Amino acid sequence: MNLRQIEVFRVVMTNGTTARAAEVLHISQPAISKTIQELERSLGFALFLRVKGRLHPTPEGQLFFREVEHAFLGLAHLRGAAARIRDFGSGELRIACLSALSTNILPRAMKRFMARNPNIAITFQARMSSTVRDLVASGQFDLGVVADEIDKTGVTFTEFARFRVAVAIPEGHPLERLDTVRPNDLAGHPFIALAPEDTTRAEAEDLFQAAGVKMKTVIETPYSTTICSMVAAGIGIGLVDPLTAEPYLGRGLVLKPFEPEMHFRTLLITPPNRLPSRHLEEFVADLKAEV
């Protein structure tokens, strides 16, 4: 069985006769008949019954034709994909990002990129950094923006940006009067902490321990956006990056500088052994322009 035999079979089924199929394919009618016979021998079952010089599809032939149509739909999809690649490069970008940057830097970079590339389809997901790493390492996504605590094996990575840690405080809280918040100032206050695997949390715990401060942790979460929403609701205090807190400022949340200075560190990751498309390089440039 080969593609030419399948094509001849499909044209016969579509047009109803070998004569019409011969016209469509610009070959002789005997060549059509010979090709069908060769295909039947390779398949091991009859595709047509020959009654008074006409071909009538067998039940097996009709079932096989349905499968052939599925295959040709796939070929049509491939032709469309090839046209998109020819005209627009890869034709799509698949991006995954940690939650903390999914509501600020990423949307602004996307807007900038899409204004120049309206025909590029973008798939975007906001996930935990460990999940983003798995999506990129498996090749399902082209680019990941993650916190630096991820397992870096199986991905190509570069440092993206650092964001200074700030203290998120509920409006009207006594600490709001301070110009700068230090570890000792947080003692005894309900604290909303990042997940234990977060490197910024580990760094903060070292600072608290060195200052002799025992934190009163009431909630743990891997998401800075969750910390901000909990702080705005008056549940407690948390350490966040200022970008994540932007939507909550003036809506129940106040930011204060934290000393000693700490930073959230982020990485850009891509699948290993894969050259970036020109559109991906362009999008990364837009991302860096927003930092």
pLDDT tops 70 at residue 127: yes
Q: What is the pLDDT of residue 145?
A: 96
Q: What is the pLDDT of residue 273?
A: 84
The CA distance from 151 to 130, in Å, is 8
| Mean pLDDT of the 100-110 span | 91
Does residue 136 sit in the same domain as residue 154?
yes
Q: What is the pLDDT of residue 141?
A: 93
Q: What is the pLDDT of residue 90?
A: 52
Considering 88, 112, 130, which residue would you say is the last residue of a domain? 88
Q: What is the pLDDT of residue 85?
A: 64
Nearest Cα residue to 265 out of 152, 111, 139, 135: 152
DSSP code of 274? -
Confidence of residue 270 (pLDDT cuts 50, 70, 90): very high
Does residue 40 sit in the same domain as residue 112?
no
pLDDT tops 70 at residue 204: yes
- Around 1, how many Cα atoms within 13 Å sit in the side-chain half-sphere? 12
Q: What is the pLDDT of residue 100?
A: 86
Domain residues for the domain of 126 are 92-162+266-289
Are 221 and 195 within 8 A, CB to CB?
yes
Domain holding 83: CATH number? 1.10.10.10
pLDDT tops 60 at residue 175: yes
Least confident range of 53-57, 221-225, 234-238, 262-266: 53-57
Does residue 238 sit in the same domain as residue 191?
yes
Q: What is the pLDDT of residue 4?
A: 87
pLDDT tops 90 at residue 89: no
Q: What is the pLDDT of residue 170?
A: 96
| Mean pLDDT of the 29-34 span | 89
Distance, CA of 246 to chain centre = 24
Domain holding 112: CATH number? 3.40.190.10
pLDDT tops 90 at residue 79: no
Q: Where are the alpha helices (DSSP H) in 89-215?
A: 105-116, 129-137, 199-210
Does residue 179 sit in the same domain as residue 208?
yes
Total number of domains in the chain = 3
